C-alpha cells in the first residue's frame, strides 16, 4: 500500500501485543474497501497507558483497540464510555472524539460474541447456559446472557469468589435473570441435578487449552460433556481445543473463538470509519484469519 500524509492510522495498545491477529483484520478490510488506512500494534509498557492514550490523540490516531491488561484501566482516561462497556467494566475499542479532544470507549467483545453466535444460529434467549470462567472475557459473555434474556445461567470458575461476584453484578443489572455460581466439582458430579441432562449451551471463557497447552481442558467429565448440545470456545489457537473435541465426539455442535475475534474487529472498524461491513467483506477477512491460525 502507498502510505502518505493522508493515511489514517489505527492501532492496538496492550502488553504484550506480539501475537495479535488484529492487523490482519483491519488491514484486510482497508485493502478490500480501498481505504487509505493502516493498523499497527502499539506495545505499551506498564505505567505508560495514560501517555499512550493522550499521545495517540495528539498523534492523530483515528482509533485504537485495547487488549490485556488495560481493558479496565483505560476507562478513567476516556471522554465518554458506552453504557454496555461501562456495565461490563471493560473497553476494547477507542473512537476519536474531535469535539471533546479525546477518545470514547466501546466494548466490541460483547458485539463479537453475539454476532458469532448469531452466525451459528444460536440465540441465548430462554436457553440453559453454562459459562466456564469469570475473567474479562467471561464478563462480556455473562452480560450477553442478560441482554439476550437467557433462561438460566451458571458461572463456573476455579476461583469461586469471582464467579459469585460476577453473578451478583449481572443480577444487579438484569434482576429477572436466573444466574448463579457453581463449582467444577458440582458440574462434574454425575448426580448433579441442578443442570439439565441435555440441551446445555456452554461458553468456554477460560484460557485453559490455549496453545501450546493444547491437551488441557477446564472440564472433561463425560457426565457433564454429554449434557452439552452446543459449545463455543473463545480460544481459536488451537482451532479445536480438547474441550471442543470432547463435546464434538459426544455428539454436540462446536465452534471456536475465531468468529468472535472477526466480528469484534469488524464492529471496531465500523465505529472508526462510520460505515457498514458486508458479510462478503467479513468473509474475506475470515479466510485470511483462518490461513494465519493454521500457519
- Pick one of 111, 261, 266, 267: the residue that binds ligand NAP (CB under 6 A): 261
Q: Enumerate residues 155-214 that contact ligand NAP by CB under 6 A.
A: 157-159, 162, 205-208, 210
**Which segment (13-21, 38-46, 135-143, 276-284) binds ligand NAP by CB under 6 A?**
135-143
Q: Is 71 a catalytic residue?
A: yes
Q: Does 236 bind ligand NAP (CB under 6 A)?
A: yes
Binding of residue 234 to ligand NAP (CB under 6 A) = yes
47 to 106, contacts with ligand NAP by CB under 6 A? 68
Strands (E), 44-84: 63-66, 80-81
Closer to ligand NAP at the Cβ: 57 or 260? 260
Task: Enumerate the β-bridge partners of residue 253.
Answer: 230
260 touches ligand NAP (CB under 6 A): yes
**Could you say which of 71, 79, 172, 274 is catalytic?**
71
Burial 90-118 (b: 16+ CB within 10 A, else e): bbbbbbbeeeeebbbbbbbbbbbbbbbbe
Scanning 39-47, 52-60, 132-140, 242-250 for contacts with ligand NAP by CB under 6 A, the matching segment is 132-140
Q: Min. distance of Cβ 208 from ligand NAP in angstroms?
A: 5
Q: Would you give the distance in Å from CA 167 to the centre of its chain? A: 18
- Return d(Cα 78, Cα 104) in angstroms, integer: 6
Closest by alpha carbon to 156, among 138, 173, 176, 168? 138
Cα distances (angstroms) measured from residue 215 to each of 188, 202, 227, 253: 18, 19, 21, 20
With CB atoms as reference, the residue minimizing the distance to ligand NAP is: 135
The alpha carbon of residue 66 and the mean position of all alpha carbons in its chain are separated, in whole angstroms, by 12
Active site residues: 71
Amino acid at each position: 500500500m502507498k502510505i502518505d500524509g493522508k493515511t489514517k492510522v489505527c492501532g492496538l495498545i496492550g502488553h504484550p501485543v506480539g501475537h495479535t491477529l488484529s492487523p490482519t483484520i483491519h488491514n484486510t478490510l482497508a485493502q478490500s474497501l480501498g481505504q487509505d488506512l493502516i493498523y499497527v500494534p502499539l506495545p505499551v509498557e506498564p505505567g505508560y497507558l495514560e501517555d499512550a492514550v493522550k499521545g495517540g490523540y495528539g498523534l492523530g490516531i483515528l482509533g485504537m483497540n485495547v487488549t490485556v491488561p488495560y481493558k479496565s484501566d483505560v476507562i478513567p482516561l476516556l471522554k465518554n464510555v458506552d453504557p454496555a462497556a461501562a456495565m461490563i467494566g471493560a473497553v476494547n475499542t477507542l473512537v476519536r472524539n474531535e469535539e471533546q479532544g479525546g477518545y470514547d470507549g466501546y466494548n466490541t467483545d460483547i458485539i463479537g460474541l453475539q454476532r458469532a453466535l448469531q452466525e451459528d444460529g444460536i440465540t441465548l434467549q430462554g436457553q440453559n447456559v453454562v459459562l466456564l470462567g469469570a475473567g474479562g472475557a467471561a464478563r462480556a459473555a455473562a452480560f450477553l446472557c442478560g441482554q439476550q434474556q437467557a433462561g438460566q445461567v451458571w458461572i463456573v470458575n476455579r476461583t469461586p469468589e469471582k464467579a459469585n461476584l460476577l453473578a451478583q453484578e449481572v443480577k444487579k443489572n438484569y434482576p429477572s435473570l436466573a444466574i448463579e455460581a457453581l463449582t467444577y466439582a458440582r458440574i462434574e458430579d454425575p448426580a448433579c441435578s441442578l443442570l439439565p441432562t441435555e440441551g446445555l449451551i456452554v461458553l468456554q471463557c477460560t484460557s485453559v487449552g490455549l496453545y501450546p497447552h493444547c491437551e488441557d481442558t477446564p472440564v472433561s467429565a463425560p457426565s457433564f460433556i454429554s449434557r452439552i448440545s452446543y459449545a463455543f470456545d473463545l480460544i481459536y489457537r488451537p482451532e479445536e481445543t480438547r474441550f471442543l473435541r470432547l463435546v464434538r465426539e459426544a455428539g454436540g455442535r462446536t465452534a471456536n473463538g475465531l468468529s468472535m475475534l472477526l466480528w469484534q474487529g469488524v464492529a471496531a472498524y465500523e465505529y472508526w470509519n462510520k460505515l457498514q461491513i458486508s458479510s462478503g467483506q467479513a468473509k474475506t477477512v475470515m479466510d485470511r484469519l483462518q490461513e494465519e491460525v493454521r500457519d
